[in-house]
């Protein structure tokens, strides 16, 4: 069994920055993630999308931000366990023992849960036989927009992801249809206006109010998406690709059984420290809930700093912590 100062559950942007903040306070970290790559939602859901509200970066692609965060954490030599969902968390003498499904076991003095929306996955539309198309012609996220160049694409959904990807793929797809069961979209108004303009110019076709009915194709290759209106009338859309964007299924999974005070799939924390109801376990980022919480990366960064300071006395008992700026302290090998 390995030992560390702090075990971080979740290698999303917030978990990665927690490595840096802990490192600055002389605390070593092991970081676990269920996914086989770091970056959480940024890498898994929108790697090529630009983010505009990370301080200091007027615009940065999500994947590039994750790469910078990993680079910033690297001098502190975090040990990553990727593709390793933490299933067990037990209190032991002097701290905690975390275990993964694959049998990895790590002892830690304190735990930071930075698990975002939990072990997340897309909400799948209930279409018969959809599994055979998944990964071939049905995708729940866009890793590379170029993969859709020249394709006939159907986007389904009415939220930000559906609208944003419509705007992004309109230029590369041979034909793009947007299927939504209501005329009204729940997305940034400015984006909806741009989408409406594309529809008016004939660049995309709105298929509303319709919902997905069934898929036609063979061997995982889509031939058509059949949609139905609210009266049961059907329309057949010839297509190569279906992109259903119906949001994320939040599943806290094992975290729900760690005895923490929860509120609707979130962990209730003290906002000034990230402390949960269980001493020694902290929660930061999207999974943390307190009055006024904003699910933004920049808020998670701040929470990581506060949690690291709160954890310091657990890892270095009796040692006074003098607050220092990074400019004063520097980082290893800088």
Binding residues for ligand FAD, per CB under 6 A? 9-15, 32-35, 40-42, 45-46, 51, 53, 85-86, 114-119, 161, 253-255, 285-286, 295-298, 300
Please give the Cα distance from 136 to 12 (Å, whole number).
27
Give the 3-state secondary structure of residue 200: helix
For ligand FAD, give the closer residue by CB, 15 or 23.
15
Residue nearest to ligand FAD (CB): 116
Distance (Å, whole) CA 89 – CA 81: 15
User: At closest approach, how far in Å is the CB of 80 from ligand FAD?
Assistant: 11
Residue 296 C-beta: closest distance to ligand FAD, Å: 4
Q: Is residue 68 within a helix (H) or strand (E), and if so which, with residue range?
A: helix 62-73
Of residues 101 and 230, the one with the C-beta less far from ligand FAD:
101
Segment holding 72, helix H or strand E: helix 62-73
Rounded to 10 deg, the angle between the 297-315 and 13-24 helix axes is 40
> Closest approach of Cβ 39 to ligand FAD, in Å?
7
Is the distance from CB of 126 to CB of 21 less than 8 angstroms?
no
Give one word for 29, left, alpha or beta, with left for phi > 0 and alpha for psi -120 to 50: beta
In angstroms, give the least distance from the CB of 141 to ligand FAD. 9
**What is the CB-side half-sphere exposure of residue 247 using CA atoms within 13 A?**
8
Based on CB atoms, which residue is closest to ligand FAD, 65 or 154?
65
Nearer to ligand FAD by Cβ, of 167 and 296: the residue is 296
Q: How far apart are CA 255 and CA 287, in angstroms?
A: 11
- Please, which residues have CB within 8 angstroms of residue 200's CB and are 6 or more apart in sequence? none
* CA pair distance 206, 156, nearest whole angstrom: 10
138 or 162, CB closer to ligand FAD? 162
Q: Which one, 25 or 119, has the nearer CB to ligand FAD?
A: 119
Nearest distance, CB of residue 29 and ligand FAD, angstroms:
14
Question: Nearest distance from residue 13's CB to ligand FAD, in Å?
Answer: 5
């Amino acid at each position: 069994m390995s030992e560390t100062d702090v075990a971080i559950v979740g290698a999303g942007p917030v978990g990665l920055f927690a490595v840096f903040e802990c490192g600055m306070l002389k605390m070593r970290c092991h970081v676990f993630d269920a996914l086989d790559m770091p970056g959480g939602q940024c890498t898994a859901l929108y790697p090529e999308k630009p983010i505009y509200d990370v301080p200091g970066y007027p615009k940065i692609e999500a994947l590039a931000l994750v790469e910078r965060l990993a680079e910033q954490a690297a001098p502190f030599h975090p040990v990553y366990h990727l593709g390793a969902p933490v299933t067990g968390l037990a209190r032991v003498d002097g701290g905690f023992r975390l275990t993964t499904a694959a049998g990895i076991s790590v002892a830690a003095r304190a735990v930071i849960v930075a698990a975002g929306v939990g072990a997340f996955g897309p909400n799948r539309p209930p279409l018969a036989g959809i599994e055979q198309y998944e990964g071939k012609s049905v995708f729940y996220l866009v890793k590379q927009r170029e993969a859709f160049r020249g394709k006939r694409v159907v986007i389904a959904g009415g939220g930000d992801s559906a609208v944003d990807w419509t705007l992004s793929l309109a230029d590369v797809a041979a034909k793009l249809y947007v299927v939504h069961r209501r005329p009204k979209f729940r997305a940034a108004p400015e984006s909806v206006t741009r989408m409406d303009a594309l529809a008016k110019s004939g660049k995309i076709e709105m298929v509303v109010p319709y919902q997905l009915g069934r898929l036609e194709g063979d061997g995982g290759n889509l031939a058509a998406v059949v949609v139905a209106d609210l009266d049961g009338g059907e329309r057949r859309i010839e297509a190569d690709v279906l992109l259903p964007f119906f949001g994320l299924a939040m599943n806290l999974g094992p975290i729900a059984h760690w005895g923490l005070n929860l509120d609707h799939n979130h962990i209730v924390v003290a906002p000034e420290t990230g402390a949960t109801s269980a001493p020694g376990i902290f929660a930061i980022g999207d999974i943390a809930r307190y009055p006024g919480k904003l699910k933004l990366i920049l808020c998670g960064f701040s929470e990581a700093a506060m949690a690291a300071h709160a954890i310091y006395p657990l890892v270095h008992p009796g040692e006074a912590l003098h607050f220092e700026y990074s400019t004063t302290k520097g980082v290893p090998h800088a």
